[in-house]
Amino acid sequence: MWILAIIITILYSFIMILVPRRPRFYPPGPRSLPIVGNLISVWFGLMKLKDHYRLWRSWTQIYGDVVGLQLGFINVVVVSGKDFIKEVSSREVFDGRPNGFFYMMRSFGKKIGLVFADGQAWSSTRRVILKYLKSFGYGSRSMETYISEECTALVNHLRGSCQPVGVNEMFDVSVINILWRLVAGKRYDLKDVRAKQLCTLIKRCFKVVDMSGGILNFMPFLRYIIPGPIGYTEMMEIHDILYKFIRETIKEHEANIDVQNPRDVIDAFIIESIENKTDAFSDEELQVVCLDLLEAGMETVSNTAVFMLLHVALNSSVQARLRHEIDEVVGGRAPVLADRARMVYTEAVLLETLRISSVAPVGIPHMARDDARLGDYIVPKGTFLLLAMYDLHNGDHWKDPHVFRPERFLTKEGNLVQHEWLMPFGTGRRRCIGEVLARSELFLFLTYLLQNFHLLLPEEDPKPSTEPVNGVSLSAAPFRLTFKQRR
Ligand code: HEM
């Protein structure tokens, strides 16, 4: 009997160590059960509402802009509203990234790279990679040339097709090409099988879980019991293939590097690592940085571009006005980024797309690096913070949030409005590093395509839905368009 008592005491103490600390002023939220916390409510909630962002919204409506949850052994706070989202994004104490298993299993079990690292290591990697990206063309004419070349290739590719085209994968290889030319000095043909396979893998891995990391994060020991159903097996398989591709690319660079003439980000990193033998320039760090750029930079832009075409095709008056502006400002020559200054309507369409599609529905989770006050509440050290970006962009504040209306970003005089409720790339210290690239890509994709084609919904297809499909980033449900060449 006493042996049983000892075992129960040990088990209880072990569980108590794992169960997160919840101070008296922890934010309010649904009632939690011992050990599993709110996981069961999340499970039932998802069965009813389907998508995570809808579930977080339903709880925000009950508990307010700061909702406190306990998911398995982890405290999670969902933060909504412009002011709280800005506060979390701007305070250093909240600029950590989660220690969760899901986030680290893709980076050799370590907190390295750009997206899920934090502290000193993250800030120096972010600085160095931004410096390299800029020196190989990021934000300059070279980047514009890469984007224009991809737009031309895409237009030529579509010219040959009189049949309706599936749009959901249309931008994938072009987007990878632009990024990969900066990072690895390489581009692929739009029909290249391996490039297409890589894009499919990245997209698949973004559908296995949502940004909270799911059960894999909150009860990681389950990977030993049910690795398949909780997504562990698939995530590992996908990352094995992605890392194989990245390692091959790095090896090719090492084989013919000229230390006096770096060609791209990978070369610059390898050259620095020859002199600087610290962890900051390790081989693993370079691999994770490459993976971060591929994963953060591909699906987000590709999915936003797809939503953009969907809304333009569904709204014929928007399409006509866009075409009119393109004809007036650009005419028959190739569009350039400098045209943006005179193309306010096109810019408004981009802003409205970024708002309504909000492909990063909870951004990338932050983590409290210490106990911190947020509004009337205390957020304990180690808490994950999910920022309800989808709601910020689709909430009642916008009056008619579900209507695609670019005019909301224009003043009566026809000038562009910088709306403080719109932050698709986040804000503060962890703001997206790909914003300049993403905005430039979206502008040139749209202008090149509408300069050359009428976008038509095939009559034989059902009207496509604008409801997003859930995942780490939101995507449009499959649909097709006919690209009818303009005279
Ligand atoms: C429409 C396209 C994109 C959207 C909507 C988007 C959105 C975001 C958001 C919301 C964050 C998180 C900000 C935060 O933690 O508070 C982020 C971070 C990040 N994005 Fe993007 N992004 C896009 C394109 C890109 C591209 C093209 C790249 C590649 C160059 C990129 C690379 C990154 C990286 C590396 C981070 C992590 C930054 C850090 O933690 O320091 N993103 N992005």
Q: Is the CB of 356 under 6 A from ligand 1?
A: no
Residue 136 has a pLDDT of: 93
Residue 76 has a pLDDT of: 94
Ligand 1 atom nearest residue 365's Cα: 15
* Structure confidence at residue 261 as a pLDDT band (50, 70, 90): very high
C-alpha 91 – ligand 1 centre gap (Å): 18
Ligand 1 atom nearest residue 387's Cα: 16
C-alpha 301 – ligand 1 centre gap (Å): 10
- The full 3-state SS of 180-218, as one line of letters, equals HHHHHCCCCCCCCHHHHHHHHHHHHHHHHCCCCCHHHHH
Tell whether 71 is covered by a domain: yes
* Structure confidence at residue 14 as a pLDDT band (50, 70, 90): low
Residues above pLDDT 90, as percent of the chain: 77
C-alpha 430 – ligand 1 centre gap (Å): 8
Nearest residue CA, atom 8 of ligand 1? 425
Ligand 1 atom nearest residue 423's Cα: 10
Q: Who's near 138: CB < 8 A, 6+ residues apart?
A: 130, 182, 436, 437
Helix (H, G, I), strand (E, B) or coil at 72: coil
Q: Is the CB of 213 under 6 A from ligand 1?
A: no
* Structure confidence at residue 111 as a pLDDT band (50, 70, 90): very high
* Structure confidence at residue 10 as a pLDDT band (50, 70, 90): low
> Which carries the bigger pLDDT value, residue 12 or residue 471?
471
Residue 142 has a pLDDT of: 93
Cα–Cα distance for residue pair 345/443, rounded to 1 Å: 11
Q: Is the CB of 220 under 6 A from ligand 1?
A: no
Nearest residue CA, atom 19 of ligand 1? 432
C-alpha 416 – ligand 1 centre gap (Å): 23
Residue 1 has a pLDDT of: 63
Residue 75 has a pLDDT of: 94
Complex ipTM more than 0.95, yes or no: yes
Tell whether 259 is covered by a domain: no
- Tokens encoding 109: 């079990």
Cα–Cα distance for residue pair 52/214, rounded to 1 Å: 10
C-alpha 222 – ligand 1 centre gap (Å): 30
Residue 19 has a pLDDT of: 55
Tell whether 109 is covered by a domain: no
Is the pLDDT at 73 greater than 70? The verdict is yes
Q: What is the pLDDT of residues 208-219, one digit of tens each?
A: 777 777 778 778
Residue 20 has a pLDDT of: 63
Q: Who's near 467: CB < 8 A, 6+ residues apart?
A: 477
Q: Is the CB of 471 under 6 A from ligand 1?
A: no
C-alpha 295 – ligand 1 centre gap (Å): 10
Ligand 1 atom nearest residue 363's Cα: 10
Tell whether 230 is covered by a domain: no
Tell whether 417 is covered by a domain: no
Q: Who's near 252: CB < 8 A, 6+ residues apart?
A: none
Residue 8 has a pLDDT of: 59
Residue 231 has a pLDDT of: 84
| 469 close to 297: Cβ distance less than 8 angstroms | no
Q: Is the CB of 318 under 6 A from ligand 1?
A: no
Is the pLDDT at 12 greater than 80? The verdict is no
Is the pLDDT at 17 greater than 80? The verdict is no
Q: Is the CB of 96 under 6 A from ligand 1?
A: no
Tell whether 343 is covered by a domain: no
Q: Is the CB of 295 under 6 A from ligand 1?
A: no
C-alpha 176 – ligand 1 centre gap (Å): 15
Lowest model confidence (mean pLDDT) among 48-52, 125-129, 148-152, 165-169: 48-52
Rounded average pLDDT over 105-133: 95
Residue 5 has a pLDDT of: 59
Q: What is the pTM of this model?
A: 0.93
* Structure confidence at residue 157 as a pLDDT band (50, 70, 90): very high
Lowest model confidence (mean pLDDT) among 17-26, 53-62, 233-242: 17-26
Number of domains in the chain: 1
* Structure confidence at residue 92 as a pLDDT band (50, 70, 90): very high
Residue 4 has a pLDDT of: 66
Containing domain of residue 46, as a range? 1-94+369-402
Residue 18 has a pLDDT of: 54
CA dihedral 296, 298, 304, 308 (to 10 degrees): 160
Residue to mutate (ligand 1; options 432, 472, 475; most atoms within 8 A of CB): 432
Look at the block and give the residue holding tokens 């981009």: 350
Nearest residue CA, atom 9 of ligand 1? 425
Q: Is the CB of 219 under 6 A from ligand 1?
A: no
> Which carries the bigger pLDDT value, residue 3 or residue 454?
454
Q: What is the pLDDT of residues 414-440, one digit of tens each?
A: 999 989 999 999 999 999 999 999 999
Nearest residue CA, atom 42 of ligand 1? 434
C-alpha 229 – ligand 1 centre gap (Å): 29
Q: Is the CB of 292 under 6 A from ligand 1?
A: yes
Average pLDDT, the chain: 92
Tell whether 310 is covered by a domain: no
Tell whether 193 is covered by a domain: no
Cα–Cα distance for residue pair 115/118, rounded to 1 Å: 8
